[in-house]
């Protein structure tokens, strides 16, 4: 069973994502800031990360950069979640090696589809 | 004995003058020092100062100081006015004020003669005054303690000492004023002697002053204390004692200012005798300092004279009678010498200046025109010139004596002096306007002088004659032919002014009015235009003195002319640089003709020199067109340049303004974008949860009931959060645009605080926060909007609850009175807010970092919008209060303090409520 890491500092958003992923048949790990996210990736080796950009400590971009710097995580599928709907941010995220980019508020069905596709490609 | 000492002193002066002249010939000038220049200007202080100031102080209090404030002001302006005059005088070889004015208005002979004549009439009384002072002081010295007992009119003139004084002075002045004829018309020896005399008179006056204050009295304190106790002196020193009141003050000040610049002797030492224009700088403060020193003891001596001397005695003699009354012999003699210095200094310089004017502008032009004398065909005329000067000197002094003998008794020293001053001020308009207004014409200046002088004669001189019994004085009180509005002391019904201010006003009005009025309607000749331009532009360094002669003459002719008037050595200097062997028939270059004219002007004045040169130069005399076009081009270029510079400066300024406005706009635009991005970010967050759970609830029909309820609760909560956020954003927008409507009213902050605490109590309790309240002021009246204030307090309590410590979270609300304000503070026991973050928390959407709270967190912290504090601060500011962060004194965490002013008493409430409706400046 694929494992998905949900990183967001909004408890209710984490709650909704956790429910959606579990319902889609994935195992879910959560983190509420950047440091926690890096720790969870190291401990739990998730197959995919849903990563919010505005985090209380380090930003989602920093987390993305650090993950990509590690060769072992170079191919780890990462979907950026953001409330900033700006084109610049999307481009920045893609340039840093994100696999996809989702603007809040998102369509739950589309997000689940994206996660499925990426996991299929990875395996 | 006294006469012997006086003669000895004059001899000493002569030695100094001779020494100064010899040094000048050797090229080691003794007057090449700014200090000597400043001291020579002190010839301003005559016997009138030496004796008369004390007399005037005894009679009219401190008004005598105005006579010295005027020159002080003039010296302050000297870098502009006097420097300009000196530079012109140097370039044009000016010999006197008559020459100066004549040169300015096209080298007009008539105008020069007019100035010389007015000077002669106006200044003669002043010379008379000096003669009177010398005779009188001598009589006081000899006859003390008897009254001086002079009855001039009854004596035959050969029994009158002043007659002999005048003659001795004449001889003396001839000896060192006209020893030879110098083209530069400078008298270095004389200037050195005058500077020496200035030192002597200052020393003598200070000596009497020190003697009076420290020997006759025990210092200034004692003197003034006794004067204050004296019934007659009480109030004598008040400023109201000036004749004519405020008008008298201004009038005397203006009189002295103008006279200082236009008295012939002042013009002589200030301008003609100036050897280096850099000297003006030191003189501009040294001379006022001299005036201060010589006036220092005037009031003490005047007071002492009235206190000790017989009050019936003449106050003009106090400087002499005070040391005499103490039985001294040496000091009175020193004073006499000091007075003699003051008097002779003035007489010497004035007579030399006047004799130069009389010979150059009155006698010589007449002689040159008189065909019977055949002057033009005579040989060496330089002896003639000196002879004319010498005769003029004797005549001037005899005139002074006559005035003294016939009229001098009826006027006091001061009165005679002021009458002379008033005459000299008639030159000021032609002189000063001529320096700055190119449009002043010869006709205007001449008619102005005549008009001003006529008014002076009518308002000061004739009344003086009348009071001396020369004329029937009925016209003084009733006006001529009974016309009251023509009374000389109340012209056109102007009454209540002192006679000098009265005369000054009317004469200057007539003078300036005529000068300006006539100038506007008359045309200048070409020479006048050139001279006017040269005078008004004199400080332009680029302007060189142009050579005006374009006609032809031979060297032989020019040489012969100069030889006749100047003698061989001076002539040789003019031709220096030209080939010696050159033929007598050789044509002379224009610049040599100009040099010859200048040399002649130095000896004869500008007008006469022009006539003489014209007599030998053939053909077109002047190319004024060329000169004028040079001047015009220069000034047009300057003006054009100035305009260009101004335009480009203005352009640069506009550009700068545009740039900064643009920058401001861009910054505002950036802030707006940032705000919109933040708002959208903040709105998207709750919206994300709402949409996600709504879709979950829609798509998963088989959800357990408790999950469904939980998710629906989240949707409701996040919707509320969304509404709250929108409300806050709107508040903020209203605050920033100044459209927030508050309803200020008088309220009790203590009650409001308790009410707010009750409102949040339950929520805080749920979160495990212990909330304490400490209200020391039960009645805390403030002006505020209760709903908005409650919003602020709840926001503060809410924030504190969020940031209180994880373990045993505590919040404390405190309300106390503090210096006309009520302070409501809310503190917590959390980590506190760092110094650098204390202002940032009031920025929009600022989120406080919750250090160490991410891991092992035991309590859920509700996230704020980051708008609560900015809104709170805006509301408090609208109510005239302040909101800030500091360290919590009790709980150790953060402490937010709100301060509001105590509401005024009921009666003022209306006004304050009104004032609160207009938001304060932000």
Interface predicted TM-score (ipTM) of this complex, two decimals: 0.94
CB contact at 8 A, B80 and B263 = no
CB contact at 8 A, B374 and B353 = no
Q: Does domain B2-415 have CATH number 1.10.3720.10?
A: no
pLDDT-based confidence at residue A111 (cuts at 50, 70, 90):
very high
pLDDT at B501: 81
Point out which residues pair with B816 in neighbouring strands: B823
pLDDT at B450: 92
- Among the listed ranges B32-46, B89-103, B443-457, B617-631, which one has the minimum average pLDDT value? B617-631
pLDDT-based confidence at residue A39 (cuts at 50, 70, 90):
very high
pLDDT-based confidence at residue B622 (cuts at 50, 70, 90):
very low
C-alpha B51/C-alpha B69 separation (Å) is 18
Of residues B73 and B162, which shows the higher confidence score?
B73
- Among the listed ranges B753-767, B823-837, B896-910, which one has the minimum average pLDDT value? B896-910
C-alpha B559/C-alpha A25 separation (Å) is 130
State how far the alpha carbon of B901 is from the alpha carbons of B770, B792, B875, in Å: 29, 16, 14
pLDDT-based confidence at residue B149 (cuts at 50, 70, 90):
low
User: To which H or E segment does residue B413 belong?
Assistant: helix B413-424
Of residues B128 and B310, which shows the higher confidence score?
B128
| B47 pLDDT higher than 90 | no
Of residues B738 and B627, which shows the higher confidence score?
B738
Q: What is the tens place of the pLDDT at every residue in B425-451? A: 899 898 888 888 888 888 899 999 999
| B376 pLDDT higher than 70 | no
pLDDT at A109: 92
CB contact at 8 A, A12 and B718 = yes
Which of A19, A56, A85 faces B850 most closely, judged by CB atoms? A56
Q: Which residues of B touch A (CB under 8 A)?
A: 677, 680-682, 684-685, 687-693, 695-696, 699-700, 714, 717-718, 847, 849-850, 854-855, 860, 863
CATH fold, domain B626-733, is Helix Hairpins (1.10.287)
A25 touches chain B (CB under 8 A): no
pLDDT at B620: 45
Please give the span between the terminal C-alpha atoms of chain B, in angstroms, as a whole number: 88
pLDDT at B547: 47
Residue found under tokens 């001598």:
B138
For residue B898, give the DSSP letter.
E
Asked if A85 lies within 8 A of B680 by C-beta distance, the reply is yes
Nearest to B460 by CA among B255, B277, B698: B255
Cis amide prior to B413 (ω within 30 degrees): no
Q: Where are the alpha helices (DSSP H) in B741-785?
A: 749-766
| B350 pLDDT higher than 50 | yes
Q: What tokens appear for B419 in the block? A: 């009458």
C-alpha B621/C-alpha B630 separation (Å) is 18
A22 touches chain B (CB under 8 A): no
- b (16+ CB within 10 A) / e for B700-727: eeebeeeeeeebeebbeebeebbeebee
User: To which H or E segment does residue B173 belong?
Assistant: helix B161-177
Secondary structure string (H, E, C) spanning B242-254 = CCCHHHHHHHHHH
Which of B681, B687, B717 faces A84 most closely, judged by CB atoms? B681
pLDDT at B733: 83
pLDDT at B173: 81
Nearest to B184 by CA among B109, B104, B274: B274
pLDDT at B314: 73
CA B853 to chain centroid, in Å, comes to: 71
Interface test with A, best of B673, B674, B685, B715 (most A CBs within 10 A): B685
Q: What is the tens place of the pLDDT at every residue in B72-105? A: 888 888 778 888 888 888 777 788 888 889 888 8
pLDDT at B578: 66
pLDDT at A47: 93
C-alpha B96/C-alpha B99 separation (Å) is 5
Of residues B6 and B570, which shows the higher confidence score?
B6
CB contact at 8 A, B699 and A19 = no
Percent of chain A residues past pLDDT 90, beyond the cut: 47
Please classify residue B594 by burial: count the beta carbons closer than 10 Å to its beta carbon, then call 0-12 exposed, 13-18 middle and 19+ buried: middle
Percent of chain B residues past pLDDT 90, beyond the cut: 4
Angle, nearest 10°, between helix axes B606-616 and B109-143? 140
pLDDT at B860: 43
Nearest to B341 by CA among B536, B207, B241: B207
Q: Which domains does chain A have, with CATH numbers?
A: 3-91+101-106 (3.40.50.2300)
- Among the listed ranges B15-29, B256-270, B301-315, B369-383, which one has the minimum average pLDDT value? B369-383
**CB within 8 A of A12, min separation 6: which ones?**
B689, B693, B714, B717, B718
For residue A96, give the DSSP letter.
T
Q: What tokens appear for B338 in the block? A: 């000091």
| B312 pLDDT higher than 60 | no
| B773 pLDDT higher than 60 | yes
Residue found under tokens 């980590």:
B831
Asked if B685 lies within 8 A of A108 by C-beta distance, the reply is no
| A84 pLDDT higher than 60 | yes
pLDDT-based confidence at residue B174 (cuts at 50, 70, 90):
confident
CB contact at 8 A, B424 and B263 = yes
pLDDT-based confidence at residue B481 (cuts at 50, 70, 90):
low
Pairing of strands B745-748, B781-784: antiparallel
What number of C-beta contacts closer than 8 Å exist between A and B? 76
Asked if A85 lies within 8 A of B684 by C-beta distance, the reply is yes
Mean pLDDT of B655-659: 86
User: To which H or E segment does residue B530 belong?
Assistant: helix B526-536
- Among the listed ranges A66-80, B59-73, B150-164, B386-400, which one has the minimum average pLDDT value? B150-164
pLDDT at B638: 66
pLDDT at B280: 85
A121 touches chain B (CB under 8 A): no
- Please name the residue of chain A whose CA is at the shortest distance from the CA of residue B678: A84
pLDDT at A6: 94
Q: What is the tens place of the pLDDT at every residue in B532-556? A: 877 877 776 544 444 455 566 777 7
| B628 pLDDT higher than 60 | no
CB contact at 8 A, B419 and B498 = no
CATH number listed for the domain at residues B742-849+861-917? 3.30.565.10
pLDDT at B624: 47
Asked if B700 lies within 8 A of A12 by C-beta distance, the reply is no
Angle, nearest 10°, between helix axes B161-177 and B188-210? 140
Nearest to B345 by CA among B232, B202, B452: B202
pLDDT at B154: 46
- Among the listed ranges B119-123, B259-263, B668-672, which one has the minimum average pLDDT value? B668-672
Point out which residues pair with B771 in neighbouring strands: B811
State how far the alpha carbon of B360 is from the alpha carbons of B99, B384, B613, in Å: 8, 12, 15
C-alpha B119/C-alpha B430 separation (Å) is 14
pLDDT at B637: 65
| B418 pLDDT higher than 70 | yes
| B729 pLDDT higher than 60 | yes
| Mean model confidence pLDDT for chain B | 78
Which A residues 86-105 touch B at CB under 8 Å? 86, 103-105
CB contact at 8 A, A14 and A30 = yes
CB contact at 8 A, B331 and B207 = yes
Specify whether the backbone of B866 is left (phi greater than 0), alpha (psi in -120 to 50) or beta: left
Of residues B178 and B694, which shows the higher confidence score?
B694
| Mean model confidence pLDDT for chain A | 89
pLDDT at B183: 43
Pairing of strands B821-828, B810-818: antiparallel
C-alpha A59/C-alpha A35 separation (Å) is 10
Which of B684, B847, B860 faces A104 most closely, judged by CB atoms? B684
Point out which residues pair with B696 in neighbouring strands: none
CB contact at 8 A, A91 and A101 = no
Specify whether the backbone of A81 is left (phi greater than 0), alpha (psi in -120 to 50) or beta: beta
Neighbours of B170 (CB within 10 A): 21
Mean pLDDT of B190-214: 88
A16 touches chain B (CB under 8 A): yes
């Amino acid at each position: 069973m694929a494992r998905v890491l949900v990183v967001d500092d909004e408890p209710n958003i984490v709650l909704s994502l956790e429910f959606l992923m579990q319902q889609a048949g994935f195992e879910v790990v959560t983190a509420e800031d950047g440091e926690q996210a890096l720790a969870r990736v190291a401990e739990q080796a998730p197959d995919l990360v849903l990563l919010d950009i505005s985090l209380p400590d380090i930003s989602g971009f920093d987390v993305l950069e650090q993950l990509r710097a590690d060769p072992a995580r170079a191919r780890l599928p990462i979907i950026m979640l953001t409330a900033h709907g700006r084109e610049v941010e999307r481009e920045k995220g893609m340039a840093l090696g994100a696999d996809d980019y989702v603007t809040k508020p998102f369509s739950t069905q589309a997000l689940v589809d994206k996660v499925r596709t990426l996991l299929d490609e990875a395996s | 004995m006294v006469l012997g000492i006086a003669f000895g002193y004059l001899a000493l002066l002569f030695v100094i003058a001779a020494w100064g002249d010899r040094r000048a010939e050797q090229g080691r000038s003794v007057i090449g020092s700014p200090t000597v220049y400043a001291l020579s200007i002190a010839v301003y202080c005559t016997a009138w100062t030496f004796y008369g100031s004390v007399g005037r102080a005894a009679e009219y209090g401190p008004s005598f100081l105005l006579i010295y404030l005027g020159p002080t002001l003039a010296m302050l302006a000297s870098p502009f006015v006097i420097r300009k005059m000196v530079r012109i005088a140097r370039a044009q070889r000016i010999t006197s004020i008559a020459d100066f004015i004549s040169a300015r208005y096209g080298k007009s002979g008539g105008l020069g003669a007019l100035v010389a004549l007015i000077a002669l009439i106006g200044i003669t009384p002043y010379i008379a005054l000096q003669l009177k002072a010398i005779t009188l002081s001598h009589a006081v010295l000899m006859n003390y303690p008897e009254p001086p007992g002079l009855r001039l009119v009854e004596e035959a003139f050969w029994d009158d000492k002043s007659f002999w004084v005048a003659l001795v002075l004449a001889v003396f002045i001839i000896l060192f004023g006209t020893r030879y004829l110098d083209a530069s018309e400078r008298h270095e020896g004389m200037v050195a002697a005058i500077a020496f005399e200035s030192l002597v008179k200052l020393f003598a006056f200070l000596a009497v002053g020190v003697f009076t204050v420290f020997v006759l009295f025990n210092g200034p304190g004692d003197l003034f204390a006794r004067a204050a106790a004296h019934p007659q002196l009480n109030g004598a020193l008040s400023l109201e004692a000036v004749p004519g009141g405020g008008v008298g003050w201004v009038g005397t000040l203006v009189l002295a200012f103008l006279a200082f610049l236009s008295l012939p002797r002042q013009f002589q030492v200030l301008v003609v005798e100036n050897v280096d224009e850099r000297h003006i700088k030191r003189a501009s403060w040294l001379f006022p300092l001299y005036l201060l020193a010589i006036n220092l003891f005037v009031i003490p001596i005047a007071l002492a004279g009235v206190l000790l001397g017989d009050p019936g005695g003449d106050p003009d003699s106090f400087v002499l009678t005070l040391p005499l009354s103490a039985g001294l012999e040496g000091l009175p003699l020193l004073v006499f010498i000091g007075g003699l210095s003051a008097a002779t200094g003035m007489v010497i310089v004035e007579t030399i200046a006047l004799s130069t004017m009389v010979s150059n502008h009155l006698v010589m032009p007449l002689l040159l025109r008189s065909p019977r004398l055949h002057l033009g065909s005579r040989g060496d005329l330089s002896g003639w010139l000196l002879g004319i000067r010498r005769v003029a000197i004797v005549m001037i002094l005899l005139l002074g004596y006559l005035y003294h003998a016939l009229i001098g008794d009826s006027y006091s020293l001061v009165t005679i002096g002021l009458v002379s001053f008033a005459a000299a001020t008639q030159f000021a308009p032609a002189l000063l306007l001529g320096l700055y207004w190119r449009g002043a014409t010869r006709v205007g200046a001449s008619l102005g002088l005549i008009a001003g002088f006529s008014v002076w004669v009518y308002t000061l001189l004739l009344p003086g004659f009348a009071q001396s019994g020369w004329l029937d004085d009925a016209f003084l009180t009733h006006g001529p032919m009974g016309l009251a509005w023509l009374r000389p002391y109340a012209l056109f019904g102007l009454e209540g002014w002192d006679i000098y201010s009265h005369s000054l006003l009317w004469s200057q009005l007539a003078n300036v009015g005529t000068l300006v009025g006539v100038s506007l309607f008359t045309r200048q000749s070409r020479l006048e235009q050139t001279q006017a331009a040269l005078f008004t532009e004199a400080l332009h360094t680029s302007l060189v003195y142009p050579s005006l002669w374009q006609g032809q003459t031979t060297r032989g002719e020019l040489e012969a002319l100069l030889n006749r008037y100047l003698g061989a050595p001076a002539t040789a200097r003019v031709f220096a640089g030209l080939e010696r062997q050159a033929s007598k028939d050789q044509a002379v270059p224009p610049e040599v003709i100009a040099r010859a004219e200048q040399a002649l002007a130095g000896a004869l004045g500008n007008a006469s020199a022009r006539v003489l040169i014209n007599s030998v130069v053939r053909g077109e005399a002047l190319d004024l067109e060329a000169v004028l076009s040079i001047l015009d081009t220069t000034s047009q270029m300057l003006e054009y340049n100035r305009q260009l510079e101004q335009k480009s400066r203005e352009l640069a300024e506009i550009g700068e303004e545009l740039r900064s406005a643009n920058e401001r706009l861009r910054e505002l635009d950036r802030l707006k974008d940032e705000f919109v991005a933040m708002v959208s970010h903040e709105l998207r967050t709750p919206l994300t949860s709402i949409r996600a759970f709504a879709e979950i609830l829609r798509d998963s029909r088989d959800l357990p009931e408790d999950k469904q309820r939980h998710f629906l609760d989240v949707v409701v909560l996040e919707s509320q959060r969304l509404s709250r956020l929108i409300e806050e954003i709107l508040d903020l927008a209203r605050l920033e645009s100044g459209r927030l409507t508050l309803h200020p009213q008088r309220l009790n902050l203590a009650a409001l605080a308790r009410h707010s605490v009750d409102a949040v109590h339950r929520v805080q309790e749920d979160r495990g926060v212990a909330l304490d309240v400490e209200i020391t002021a039960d009645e805390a009246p403030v002006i505020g909007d209760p709903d908005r204030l409650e919003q602020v307090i709840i926001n503060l309590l809410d924030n504190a609850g969020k940031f209180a410590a994880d373990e045993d979270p505590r919040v404390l609300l405190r309300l106390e009175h503090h210096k006309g304000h009520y302070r409501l503070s809310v503190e917590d026991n959390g980590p506190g807010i760092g110094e650098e973050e204390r202002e940032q928390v009031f920025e929009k959407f600022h989120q406080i970092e919750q250090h160490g709270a991410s891991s092992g967190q035991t309590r859920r912290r509700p996230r704020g919008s980051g708008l609560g504090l900015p809104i709170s601060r805006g509301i408090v500011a609208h109510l005239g209060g302040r909101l800030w962060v500091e360290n919590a004194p009790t709980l150790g965490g953060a402490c937010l303090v709100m301060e509001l002013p105590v509401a005024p008493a009921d009666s003022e409430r209306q006004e304050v409520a009104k004032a609160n409706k207009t938001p304060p400046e932000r």
